[in-house]
Amino acid sequence: MRTRFKRLTLLVFAFAVSFAVNAVAYELHNGPTGVLYYEKDKCFNGYTLFTPTEKNKVTYLMDMEGNIVHTWEVKGAEGSSFHSRLLPNGNLLLLRNVKDEDANAQIGGWAGILDEVDWDGNVVWSYRMADKDHISHHTFDRMPNGNTLILGWERVSNDKMVAKGRDPKTIPTEPVMIKGKALNDFWVDFVREVDKNGNTVWEWHLIDHTGKGQDQLDPNYIVPKKVGVGYDNYDWSHFNTVEFVPGKDGNDKVLVNSRNFSEAMLIDKKTGKIEWRWGNPSSHGKGQGPTWYDDQSQIIFGSHNAAMIGENMMSIFDNGSERAEPNRSRVLEVDMTTGKIVWEYAANDGNSFFSYRQGAAQKLPNGNYLVTSTQHGHLFEVTRDKKVVWEFISPIMEGKNTPIMLDAEHVLRTPKGVPVTHMYQNMIHRAYRYAPDYPGLKGKDLSPKGYIVTDGKKWFEVNKK
């Protein structure tokens, strides 16, 4: 015990000395948790909302110094929480898991329940999408008219995929096993719009837009490098973004993003047509796909969290996984008219910023970005001139509060105890920063209720310039 304490003391001391010299994002997996760095005059100061995803049912709202100002916990929730957003009315939209036995497709990002929760943790609206043929996943978007867009997977038979052009020789002869459940068919993305009464008012199904061409997704396209067992079969497209994009004269769009195709796409809400796509021209015959040593025409790899940031402008989190060239994550701003990247952030050292799966970037009102590097529970704020001015490592490790993160101890493991590559127990799918005058915070008690790290040191005070 004494040896371990000495090791931790030396580790923390070394961290304090090195980090005080220069503010850069760090993902070394061995070091303190909590708020590590904070330059108040360069930040967009407000409140940060985040929901740890692993064996956790609590959502946190904290101030810039890491003080908890509010938490939500759904009473009687059956599964872990996954992703949340604060609404202008002060309620929380919370996506969470159903019980394992109710989820037929436990693909990465699966959920099943979307709750609207008031400030006191009471569920005031709920929508369940979890049956033998459907499950919600990843994300949602509350529309201006009060309806909600929900991303889902639906079961599509192998025969139907073959009829859509899938090469039958690429379909497994044995079912793919995920958490003890056999997946015999494809699980294909779709988008559902529901009203406040839970009625479906609009749907878009990727299977209806499967085929060859600019406005279709090729049923035989697979990720250049194999993502995981069965990923190019049952989980063929793997969307992770859905955002309503209002248009002039009711010409509305829906923005989606496919991790496996490494593309963001705009869907015309009236016609259902995919009218714009960006990120990987090789997926639809418009460019050369990656070789074993070169990215060629593919621009992004394993992308997440596409978001509109202005007219014809988009931000996107480029994970950089499955690249031929060295892995590294980036935050990009893209001119959707020209397809040009107009701004990007990437750390010089890949070890400083790389999320193999998931991740997000929220553009803040002052032009900075709040970045979520999911798989290490790592949040940081970066300026337009690419300086990290706020940094946080989540101490919530599978529901437990931990002042020091250790690589071997806090890696995520399978039920059989096998370490999961690149994944840690403190993962955060997406975080959001809200201004002090955000309507949803008006009149709320936002007084500090304790530091986010139980009995933890406030490292940002040590690391002040």
* pLDDT per residue as tens digits for the range 119-137: 999 999 999 999 999 999 9
pLDDT value for 198: 98
Buried b (16+ CB within 10 A) or exposed e, 261-277: bbbbbbbbbeebebebb
CA angle (149, 52, 395) in 5-degree steps:
155
Q: What is the pLDDT of residues 189-233, one digit of tens each?
A: 999 999 999 999 999 999 999 999 999 999 999 876 655 555 556
**CA-to-CA distance for 271 and 275, rounded, in angstroms?**
10
Q: For 77-89, what is the mean pLDDT?
A: 93
Q: What are phi and psi of 164, to 5 degrees?
A: -85, 0
- The residue behind tokens 């000395």 is 17
pLDDT band at residue 12, thresholds of 50, 70 and 90?
Answer: very low
CB 34 within 8 A of CB 403: yes
Strand locations in 347-399 (E): 360-363, 369-373, 378-382, 388-393, 396-397
| Predicted pLDDT of residue 4 | 39
* Of 433, 431, 449, nearest in space to 441 by CA: 433
Give me the pLDDT at residue 11, please. Answer: 45
Q: What is the pLDDT, as a whole number, of residue 77?
A: 79
Domain ranges of the chain: 34-463
Question: Is residue 31 pLDDT above 80, yes or no?
Answer: yes
CA distance 205 to 178: 24
What value does the mean pLDDT of the chain take? Answer: 89
pLDDT digit string, tens, across residues 305-329: 999 999 999 999 999 988 877 788 9
| φ and ψ of 408, to 5 deg | -70, -35
34-463 belongs to CATH 1.20.120.790: no
Contact, 277 vs 257, CB < 8 A? no
